[in-house]
Amino acid sequence: MTHTATDAPSQALLADDLQRHLVRFGGSFTPELIARAEGSFVFTESGRRVLDFTSGQMSAILGHSHPEIVATVQRQVATLDHLFSGMLSRPVIELSERIAASLPDPLERVLLLTTGAESNEAAVRMAKLVTGKHEIVSFARSWHGMTGAAAAATYSSGRKGYGPVAPGNIAIPTPDSYRPDIVGPGGGLDWRRQLDLAFDLVDAQSTGALAACLVEPILSSGGVIEPPPGYFAALAQKCRERGMLLILDEAQTGLCRTGTWYAFERDGVVPDILTLSKTLGAGLPLAAVVTSDEIERTAHERGYLFFTTHVNDPLVAAVGNTVFDVLERDRMDERATHLGGVLREGLLELQRRHEVVGDVRGRGLLQGLELVTDRETKQGADALGAEVTRRCFALGLHMNVVQLPGMGGTFRIAPPLTSTEAELALGLEILDRALAEATA
């Protein structure tokens, strides 16, 4: 049966009818079908306009249906879309050169893939082959993907019920300044002591086969947690002392979202392997693994194999080149810094107005807002987060709440870099109203 926006008896019945053949894969679906999207907005089949404060799946950094992306897809799909994996094309060569040029030395070798999980899979596989070891260290609230090695290094959710993961995966505490587990004399997070203790435990559990540390510069699914300045330099030193490679997963933070081209720039570190995804394709399936010439050469000499169907596809590589065109021309790093300041000030104003807003954190246009039932105890507010999310959508704002027990009151706010100040103001106004109504 085919329904239109005008013949459905009710939205609930429409949703039930259309979902009956779908596999549910986590969370719940939004209550209305989306018909189209443009810029910072998605439009439902019923004609409602909804402001998208998540850039799709945290990916559409240039907004939806950006005219230059549309033109690139139309042109490229008509000339060269997909090739045998061993064939190269000009868009792939050009994008690899541009990614390398945007990064500090020695990051210069690029492998183009499709998703974040796939790029992390390829990075971990490379690290294991190059080091000859197999143990992988990650944050206890990490999210790196749903495939084998990526899922084994993901601790924020999804571990129960699927049987054993590959041996050698070790979690270390997340350096959460809002909820410090190890405190210094002033009551704040003593991250140096926490990191020392973490690697004492890593060393105790290791069989002497530590290959790599795979972490996000800002943990998004873990609650928009940004480790303190200096943390990653100290973490890199821990890795060097043990002969481990440092892999940074910049799926959500890469390509200007945080106000710099890459989030790791703040800390003055350079990873051994960098993974990119989401933002690289601006909503299309494009990811990358970037590493040094030395690591790539060693991996190649040892027979590195990551032969997948859509490796180095020309269609999405052409899109990646257009993404770089727009980011460079429009100075999107500077724009994200400015708009991030506007957004943050608006969120801080909401914190001043609403007692349930416990914390505001993040960088650039990746901000987190955490709701609590009590500011003193910092008790999480999962039910309130769910209600505010529902109210926002009904009022015309799509928000994304962290889907973790005890973290359901934490919003991940990541509007497109192309957003206007007026659109940010509209989102803040709707969120303000939703908070007021949900707590009335």
Which residues are part of the catalytic machinery? 143, 216, 249, 252, 278, 412
Interstrand relation of 245-249 and 210-215 (parallel, antiparallel or unpaired): parallel
Q: 264 by DSSP, 3-state: which? A: helix
Give the whole-angstrom CA distance, residue 269 versus residue 95.
23
The Cα 59–Cα 252 span in angstroms is: 7
In angstroms, the CA 360 to CA 191 distance is 20
d(CA 270, CA 105): 8
Q: Tokens standing for 98?
A: 């541009």
135 φ, ψ (degrees, to nearest 5)? -85, 135
Instruction: Spell out the alpha helix ranges (H) of 188-290.
Output: 191-205, 231-241
What is the distance between the alpha carbons of residues 307 and 295, in angstroms, rounded to a whole number?
18
Give the closest residue to 172 by CA, choosing from 217, 136, 125.
Answer: 136
Burial class (CB in 10 A: 0-12, 13-18, 19+), 329: exposed
Burial class (CB in 10 A: 0-12, 13-18, 19+), 54: middle
Task: Quickly list DSSP for 277-337.
Answer: -GGGGBTBS-EEEEEEHHHHHHHHHTT-----TTTT-HHHHHHHHHHHHHHHHTTHHHHHH
Is residue 402 within a helix (H) or strand (E), and if so which, with residue range?
Answer: none
